[in-house]
Amino acid sequence: MTCRGSWSPELRPKSSHSGASGSKHLLLLLILGLSAILRPRGSLAEEPSAPQAAPAAGVMDRDYSEYDPLGVRLRSVVVFPTVAFAQGYDDNIYALPQKTASYFYTALVGVRAQTSWSRNLISLSASGQADRYPGKSRENTNEYKVDLAGRLDIGRSADLTADVVAERLTEPRTANTTTPGTHLPIQYDEQGVTITAENTFDRIRISATGAIERFRYSNIRDDTGKLVLEDQRDYDAFLITPRIDYTIGPGVSLFVEADAAKYDYRLGPPQAAANHDATGVAYLVGVRLEPTHLISGELAVGYQQRWYHDPAFKQFGGLNARAKLVWYVTKLVNLDLEALNETRPTGVLSAGGENVREWRVGADYELLRNLVISGGGGESRYSYAGLARLDHHTQADLEATYHFNRPLSFGLKYGYQKQHSTGGQGGNNFTSNLLMFTITVRK
């Protein structure tokens, strides 16, 4: 279950015209790459692998099988239904400097069917969610999600996975990309297909991921009645990410990774204010660490470049980096740190793209076997291509999850957000506090 805001508690298991020739080239490269990765292995694959450190398990990743739902078995398929209800309070539902507070109610119904085969896997899930704001009915929204996923096991250490998703979503009013002052929340449709192939040859693991994503936004009016053409944000994305990992010793691996992306926007001038079409590449070199059972993580640094088709947006090139570290303080407590610097598309209509620098620290604590407390906070900084604007976004959250038994669990969550925007075309400055209580029933 999600509530609107970049702090989004989740109950569901959870991502103009320059011609199509570039997209076809990306798809051809993906097909060739997958064929090479999944090619039958020779004698090298039969050699013994390098010793590996025993994988550590964080609080949220630990086995809680005594509280997992059993599902309903239908021969070789297991069905997992879920019903959830939440009541919450948001002291700034419009994310504006002048606050407007409201209670809200959220209901979610979902079902997931999954095969129980010893090899290979197919999973189909569907869910619907309704948010209701008493006395503020224009904030009411309905969302849905349908997800079909599968895994094909090839040999002993190669597999092919695929995921097809279609969903209707609501853009949080607290998002830096949203258009402030719209009469209704902005909603959009997202469809995507992702395919990943992976194979291991002794110390070497080769993987490649390809994705096609489609975003379509609904036009909307602002509070003065003026039509805001959100469909200028409609775009198709074509993404390829190959990666090679090499194990140099117990718990230590080096890797190289590349990303190629092409963004084709549906509308260009004169229907849209600018041509947002772009092409980007990024390269990373990094290390994956698990030297002891107390620490694990991944550090990477590299270079990224993005070319915009509209001359009003300057070509961007610079640092590309990400980090994720987990410290398992005890068996009951773990701390984590995440940071990244990347460039990506933006929903700000007058900008070509956005550069994001963000960090977050968090902690998970198993107070009781059936009671887990999690919390964290961080900051994001957004700058924009072709736009004199800089956004600073601060976020913090605290939540507790209590499993009463297999079917029934309760959640209590608090979230805080603050945005400070500067520049001649700055966004809103606001603070927001949100509190939500959730009841979840699973079979």
Assess contact for 166 and 146: CB atoms under 8 A.
yes
Reported as a pLDDT band with limits 50, 70 and 90, residue 7 is very low
* Assigned token pair, 68: 């997992």
How far, in Å, CA of 421 to CA of 424, rounded? Answer: 10
Report the pLDDT value the prediction gives residue 336, as an integer from 0 to 100.
Answer: 96
Whether residue 25 is contained in a domain is answered as yes
Assess contact for 430 and 95: CB atoms under 8 A.
yes
* Assigned token pair, 394: 């601060």
Lowest mean pLDDT among 15-29, 160-174, 350-364, 409-423: 15-29
For the chain, the straight-line distance linking the first and the last C-alpha, in angstroms and rounded, comes to 17
Report the pLDDT value the prediction gives residue 235, as an integer from 0 to 100.
Answer: 96
Reported as a pLDDT band with limits 50, 70 and 90, residue 352 is confident
Report the pLDDT value the prediction gives residue 169, as an integer from 0 to 100.
Answer: 97
Q: What is the residue-averaged pLDDT of the chain? A: 87
Assess contact for 138 and 184: CB atoms under 8 A.
yes
Whether residue 9 is contained in a domain is answered as no
Mean pLDDT, residues 49-60: 58
Whether residue 4 is contained in a domain is answered as no
Report the pLDDT value the prediction gives residue 53, as an integer from 0 to 100.
Answer: 44
pLDDT tens per residue, range 327-337: 999 999 999 99
Comparing 169 with 221, the larger pLDDT belongs to 169
How far, in Å, CA of 238 to CA of 248, rounded? Answer: 33
pLDDT tens per residue, range 93-145: 999 999 999 999 999 999 999 999 999 999 999 999 999 999 999 999 999 99
Residue 249 has pLDDT above 50, yes or no: yes
pLDDT tens per residue, range 412-440: 999 999 999 998 677 889 999 999 999 99
Residue 50 has pLDDT above 70, yes or no: no
Whether residue 127 is contained in a domain is answered as yes
Counting DSSP H helices and E strands in the chain, the numbers are 1, 21
Q: How far is CA 167 from the centre of its chain?
A: 14
Comparing 310 with 326, the larger pLDDT belongs to 326
Assess contact for 197 and 210: CB atoms under 8 A.
no
pLDDT tens per residue, range 295-324: 999 999 999 999 988 888 888 888 999 999
Show the domain range for 298: 21-442
Residue 351 has pLDDT above 60, yes or no: yes
Tell me how many domains the chain contains: 1
Centre a 10 Å sphere on the Cβ of residue 387 and count the other Cβ atoms it contains.
Answer: 21
Report the pLDDT value the prediction gives residue 56, as an integer from 0 to 100.
Answer: 61
Per this entry, what is the length of the chain? 443
Mean pLDDT, residues 334-344: 95
Report the pLDDT value the prediction gives residue 23, as an integer from 0 to 100.
Answer: 47
Q: Which of 308, 303, 315 is nearest to 341 (CA)?
A: 303
- CATH number, position 245: 2.40.160
| % of the chain surpassing 90 pLDDT | 67
Lowest mean pLDDT among 44-53, 66-75, 271-280, 394-403: 44-53
Mean pLDDT, residues 36-62: 53
